[in-house]
Structure 1
Amino acid sequence: MEQKHAKWIQLVILSLIWGSSFILMKKGLLGLNPLQLGSLRIIFAGLFLLAIGYKNLPKIPQGKWKFLALTAFCGTFMPVYLFALAQTEIDSSVSAVLNATTPLATLILGAAAFGLSFTRAQIIGVVIGLGGTLLLILNGAMNHPEQNYYYALLVVVASIGYALNVNFIKKYLSDMHPLTICTGNFLTLLLPATIVLSLSGFFQVANQEVVQTSVMYIVILGIIGTGMANLIFFKLIQTTSPVFATSVTYLIPVVAFFWGMLDGELFTPTQFVGAFIILIGVYLAGKK
């Protein structure tokens, strides 16, 4: 009974952490540009994970490093910049809902490129989820003309990156411990992220108060929202199942809605309907 309660506590904690990451990105963008935010997020998370997972690095076979670099690019490097850029134009709560399309993209790519098969319920779920995504984006564009909703497509592209990451890990890295994969990922990203940060003009504005305040938000996002969240997620997978662990997808938008409303973001009734349709599609697509 105690283990049963523990897995639910871990799931709730994970949804609170990841659901809060979107508002942290929004606050970080007040003083940082997307390149600076993405780079700092990678650097802070990477330093944290290396501090706790460096002992796992010698366990990585030489032939696995190319796959680690590939998954690092698809699952971390590309998405962190795309999410940061998208949130310069769209609300954080909308970004969180669109992030929930990741299981749909995972299923489509898994069938198209990795030989996975569809069930009827999953096909219906993909169609419903994509329909909800289209409704959410179009209605948001109509009700928020001051925002450029073409930027919502960046979140969809980032979700495809996450989907590629999951399928690559499943095919090429499934024999490695999750912490080893994660530590190896961020080791390959530290140098590129540092180069991007140095070229972004960050060090010329780092002494400004608004920049320093934003950096504090990204310290939290990197260490807790990326590093610690991954550790909880890995433990949840090990003690339960991937199916149960990925059900956090349904809770993240709820937390993001809450933070968005506290920060003055308005979600129209039609967008709520679109979000609900997406979650129905994700649920159906995730069924066996």
Structure 2
Amino acid sequence: MTKQTGALAWVLMAVLSLIWGSSFILIKRGLDVFSAGEVGAIRIVAASVFLLPIAIHGMKKVQKKDWFLLLCVGFFGSFIPAFLFAKAQTQIPSSVAGILNALTPLFTMIIGAVFYSQKFTPRTVLGLIIGFGGTVVLILAGTGGDLSALNYYALLVVLATIFYGANLNLIKFKIPDLNARTITSISLALVGPLGIVYLFFMTPFVEKLTSVEGAYFSLGAIVLLGIMGTAIALILFNQLVKMTTPIFTSSVTYLIPIVAVIWGILDGEQLFLGHYLGMTAIIFGVYLANRKKKPVQPAQVPKG
């Protein structure tokens, strides 16, 4: 990467951290009225409708071999995780969900190494380990040392991060010719109809919207989540995948917990010393994993 591209990559990472770090509190507000399935479906429908004009325009660029891959991107990167995160947050705090999301780089590295023969420097591995260690500290701090507070619903978030890791590698190595907007909009357009069918024909969504107090506020939170946290953020995210490496891109999930925990504090959750230690380790791990070794400059030969 050039210096300009590298600077832009870090800016995109910061913006994505703010957007996705705020996603968990929006899911929490959506769950005040709607079920996990409804939250997931509304999120996908809102994102797909918002990006539909871009999808229609971009369809002419898609080759036959890419359609199935784009469908996989829609499921792995959007549809399945949207439902998994919503279901998980019915039983675990939003801040814990945000923290567990930081497992994505680890699974990205594992999937890349197993299926795409990717090799990583010792510095990258060490950075990931430090970042993951910071995540563990945050998990422990968030439960007050009570491991029983992390029930099996937390595994749904872990499963979602595995899908994210697979999606990252899929975009980077299998769909190199399509731009970020085309990948995001069309992949969402392919899974959006499933969300519509589920939402309007398999849930009491319309009944809740017209009869439950606070339904429109919760709906607004989920629609905002769909537009910002799924549609716009995925365009930025997929652009980041194109610009950098899967490890750099997935490292954004090491910064998301910091924003998620801050939102948790504003929502009445306590911040312990472990949160500070964990977040510090995460930031250092991201820096170390993505720090490039400076090339050795050739010695200057004195001119006689």
Alignment pair present for 1:89 and 2:96: no
The 2-side partners of 1:72 and 1:180 are apart by 12
Say which is worse superposed, 40-49 or 236-245, in terms of deviation.
236-245
C-alpha change, 1:170 and 1:231, in structure 2 (3 Å) is: closer
C-alpha change, 1:121 and 1:5, in structure 2 (3 Å) is: closer
**What residue is the counterpart of 2:167 in the other structure?**
165
Say which is worse superposed, 181-190 or 7-16, in terms of deviation.
7-16
Matched-pair contact (CA < 8 Å) for 2:92–2:154: yes
Q: Which amino acid aligns with 2:85?
A: F
How does the TM-score come out when normalised to structure 1? Answer: 0.85
**What residue is the counterpart of 1:221 in the other structure?**
225
The 2-side partners of 1:189 and 1:256 are apart by 27
C-alpha change, 1:243 and 1:107, in structure 2 (3 Å) is: closer
C-alpha change, 1:247 and 1:157, in structure 2 (3 Å) is: closer
The 2-side partners of 1:2 and 1:113 are apart by 31
The 1-side partners of 2:14 and 2:120 are apart by 30
Alignment pair present for 1:182 and 2:192: no
Matched-pair contact (CA < 8 Å) for 1:101–1:282: no
How does the TM-score come out when normalised to structure 2? Answer: 0.81
Residue from 252, 259, 262 that aligns with 2:263: 259
The 2-side partners of 1:67 and 1:22 are apart by 28
Matched-pair contact (CA < 8 Å) for 2:21–2:257: yes
Give the deviation of 1:255 after TM superposition.
2.1
Give the deviation of 1:172 after TM superposition.
1.3
**Structure 2 SS opposite 1:100:** helix
Residue from 203, 206, 222 that aligns with 2:206: 203
Give the deviation of 1:189 after TM superposition.
0.5
Matched-pair contact (CA < 8 Å) for 1:14–1:248: yes
Aligned residues: 288
Matched-pair contact (CA < 8 Å) for 2:140–2:147: no
Matched-pair contact (CA < 8 Å) for 2:141–2:273: no
List aligned pairs for 1:72-111, cutoff 5 A: 72-111=74-113
* Backbone CA RMSD of aligned residues: 3.1
**What residue is the counterpart of 1:152 in the other structure?**
154
The 2-side partners of 1:67 and 1:152 are apart by 28
CA deviations on 1:98-144 (whole Å, 9 max, x unpaired) are 21221121111100121111322233344444444445445545646
C-alpha change, 1:251 and 1:129, in structure 2 (3 Å) is: closer
Give the deviation of 1:90 after TM superposition.
1.8
Q: Which runs of 5+ in 1 are unaligned?
A: none
The 2-side partners of 1:149 and 1:274 are apart by 21
Give the deviation of 1:221 after TM superposition.
0.7
Say which is worse superposed, 128-137 or 188-197, in terms of deviation.
128-137
Say which is worse superposed, 222-231 or 61-70, in terms of deviation.
222-231
Greater share of helix? 1
The 2-side partners of 1:117 and 1:239 are apart by 18
Q: Which amino acid aligns with 1:73?
A: F
C-alpha change, 1:168 and 1:237, in structure 2 (3 Å) is: closer
Percentage of pairs with the same residue? 41
